């Protein structure tokens, strides 16, 4: 596979999974400390990565959980939910995301502790955190894995996710599955990128547990790293405007999930099959997870999708657009 | 003004405002009934219209308020917040929006009462509702006005919006203001539409109280009614991907608001001024509201914006694209 080092990937995966004990110890410490609600702070890609975690948590608990955009949290005047009794969690691999840093500093000034993920203890974010978990490799599936381990251990400690130990044990099989799944998808990735990388406009549709990744791939990968024009829309909203733009040569990408929102995705699929010849459906259900119970598939679905699109499909877009995934003209290039 | 009948508009405005007594009586009845939280159900344009109402309510109360997408509410499995102690409110002018009807029927099956707005008592929605407020005219500012009257009277009854009577009294001046504001904007509307109606791709940015209207104008007007390709993004998220697509001939529309998110809009403005020659800023602050206190301007800002863009700018887009605002190829044309 182009630009993919299987051995390094599996070693990185071991490192990420190797944080399990630290994450569980942190969850236990936070449980002991106590909290009335959970406030998760992200922006852009990190907001998107927390989105399915929050959604899965809400499935298992009625503890109030807030997923906040860091920049908006800083300015909003209705912050009554953010108190010393909140458990505040954030993440920034680089540790220098401006808005995250500002939001964390604001929490600290309010006397509120913050737990978070960053690549190591030396980043500006790490230095502000009360509790740090190192996320040194930074593959999106590792972020998902670590966020879910923390989130579900916290629920487990409340008696709300009794299968936690089984789930966490089975996550040791995640990365080998995601290598095989990448290999299975590889010809499709090459073909999709060849067909669509130079399209002037692309519609991305997803929902529920996959909405975050739909938003992330469209905005943080294609727009930011490939200068490809996109519109991302949820499967429910698609029918309230965007549908009118579909015609036979308009590319529509549907990311089909495995949760209760699937029927909304299926409605989009039925419609688009009739009205565009350029429909690409990526259905996480088509990819087996060996050694992982079916009851954990919804949790794993964004990890599968990120391996398929944010990593593999992006690599093939780059090959076809000739635009390096590392090149930016504005983002983090100067102050704005 | 093209396709705008001032007399009819003012008469419709009187009819809408004339519902004040009914709305207040309903708020009092619902207050007497009691509720533990408020669940508002919308989809597409109605979701967007409720969005600023919910945001303003959250500024004044810490009562839990949920803004739900009707289609997603029907399928989601984590509905613990939706109980017989919820105050459920919805709206559909036509009264036959499929997803709204399904969500309301689901509530009824759960034994939960629903209050809502529809054009008259004969619509399918009206027949399902326990409490109906007629919204016969259907201009977006009338929906905003009625939704805010209900929402803020409910808060007033809880002692959380003491200025309600002053606010509601002053709303009698709304429509005459919105006629003058339309007239002031008219040359600009003509010029913007002439310049951009045929652009192949357009970025729309807004935030906070104006995010709903940004989303609505981009998706429910330009995409649905004009087949114009758009990307809408919040001022905070703009800097996490979409910014890389800005170049000197890419049109960016910034809807600048008057709430605490304004500084996020200003950051977008500073950036875009340097990187595109096609920046259009529509700032509600530039439009006076006579006879309405400044402290109510944030509440009125989506009403101003909808008059400017969803009504006037759309009329001028139609003139330049030659595509009737009434024409759809798919939406509500057949089952899907």
Chain B residue numbers with beta carbons less than 8 Å from the beta carbon of A58 are 78
A60–chain B nearest CA distance, Å = 8
pLDDT at B322 over 90: yes
Phi, psi of B282 (to 5 degrees): -115, 115
**Are the beta carbons of A259 and A212 closer than 8 angstroms?**
no
- Give mean pLDDT, residues B137-153: 94
* pLDDT 10s digits, A243-273: 999 999 999 999 999 999 999 999 999 999 9
Listed residue (B239, B189, B205, B305) closest to A335, CA to CA: B239
From the candidates B94, B102, B241, which should be mutated to test the interface with A, based on the most A CB atoms within 10 A? B241
- Give mean pLDDT, residues B320-327: 95
Question: Do A69 and B237 count as a contact with CB atoms less than 8 A apart?
Answer: yes
Looking at chain B, which runs of residues are DSSP E strands?
A: 37-42, 65-69, 86-91, 114-118, 131-134, 202-206, 230-234, 252-256, 279-283
Low-confidence ranges of chain A (pLDDT < 70): none
Chain B residue numbers with beta carbons less than 8 Å from the beta carbon of A68 are none
The Cα–Cα gap between B142 and A331 comes to 41
* pLDDT 10s digits, B201-257: 999 999 999 999 999 999 999 999 999 999 999 999 999 999 999 999 999 999 999
Count CB neighbours of A235 within 10 A.
29
pLDDT for B230 equals: 97
Interface predicted TM-score of the whole assembly (ipTM), two decimals = 0.96
Q: Output the six-digit token pair for A309.
A: 């699109």
The Cα–Cα gap between B111 and B108 comes to 5
Structural domain A6-162, CATH architecture: 3-Layer(aba) Sandwich (3.40)
SS3 at position B207: coil
How many alpha carbons lie under 13 Å from residue B325 in its C-beta half-sphere? Answer: 16
From the candidates B44, B86, B231, B240, which should be mutated to test the interface with A, based on the most A CB atoms within 10 A? B240
* Topology classification of domain B173-321: Rossmann fold (3.40.50)
Listed residue (B238, B63, B255, B53) closest to B150, CA to CA: B53
Task: State how far the alpha carbon of A105 is from the alpha carbons of A125, A126, B317, in Å.
Answer: 9, 12, 45
DSSP A219: I
pLDDT at B325 over 90: yes
Question: Do B244 and A331 count as a contact with CB atoms less than 8 A apart?
Answer: yes
pLDDT at B87 over 90: yes
**Helix H or strand E encompassing A282:** strand A279-283
pLDDT for A28 equals: 98
* pLDDT 10s digits, B254-299: 999 999 999 999 999 999 999 999 999 999 999 999 999 999 999 9
The Cα–Cα gap between A251 and A199 comes to 8
Question: Do A75 and B263 count as a contact with CB atoms less than 8 A apart?
Answer: yes
User: What residue ranges of chain B are covered by domains with CATH 3.40.50.10490?
Assistant: 6-162, 173-321
Q: Which long-range contacts (CB under 8 A, 24 or more apart) does A11-15 make?
A: A12/A136, A12/A137, A12/A139, A12/A142, A13/A137, A13/A139, A13/A142, A13/A174, A13/A175, A13/A178, A14/A175, A15/A136, A15/A137
């Amino acid at each position: 596979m182009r630009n993919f080092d299987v051995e390094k990937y599996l070693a990185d995966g071991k490192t990420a999974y190797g944080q399990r004990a630290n994450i569980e110890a942190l969850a236990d410490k936070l449980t002991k400390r106590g909290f009335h609600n959970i406030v998760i702070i992200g922006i852009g890609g990190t907001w998107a990565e927390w989105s399915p975690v929050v959604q899965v948590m809400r499935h298992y608990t009625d503890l109030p959980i807030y997923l906040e955009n860091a920049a908006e949290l800083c300015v909003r005047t209705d912050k009554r939910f953010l108190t010393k009794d909140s458990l505040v969690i954030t993440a920034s691999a680089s540790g220098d995301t401006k808005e995250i840093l500002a939001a964390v500093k604001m929490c600290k000034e309010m006397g509120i502790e913050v737990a978070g993920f960053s690549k190591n203890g030396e980043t500006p974010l790490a230095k502000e955190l009360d509790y740090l978990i190192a996320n040194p490799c930074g593959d999106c599936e590792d972020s998902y894995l670590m966020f879910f381990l923390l989130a579900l251990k916290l629920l487990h400690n409340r008696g709300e996710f009794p299968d936690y130990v089984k789930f966490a044990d089975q996550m040791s099989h995640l990365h080998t599955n995601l290598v095989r799944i990448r290999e299975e998808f590889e010809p499709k990735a090459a073909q999709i990128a060849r067909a669509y990388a130079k399209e002037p406009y692309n519609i991305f549709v997803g929902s529920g547990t996959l909405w975050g990744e739909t938003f992330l791939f469209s905005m943080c990968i294609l727009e930011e790293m490939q200068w490809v024009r996109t519109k991302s829309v949820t499967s429910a909203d698609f029918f309230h405007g965007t549908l009118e733009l579909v015609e036979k040569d308009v590319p529509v990408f549907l990311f089909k999930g495995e949760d209760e929102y699937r029927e909304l995705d299926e409605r989009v699929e039925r419609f688009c099959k009739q009205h565009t010849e350029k429909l690409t459906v990526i259905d996480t259900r088509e990819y087996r997870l060996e050694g992982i119970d079916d009851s954990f598939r919804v949790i794993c679905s964004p990890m599968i999708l990120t391996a398929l699109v944010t990593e593999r499909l992006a690599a093939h877009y780059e090959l076809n657009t000739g635009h390096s995934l590392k090149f930016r003209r504005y983002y983090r290039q100067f102050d704005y």
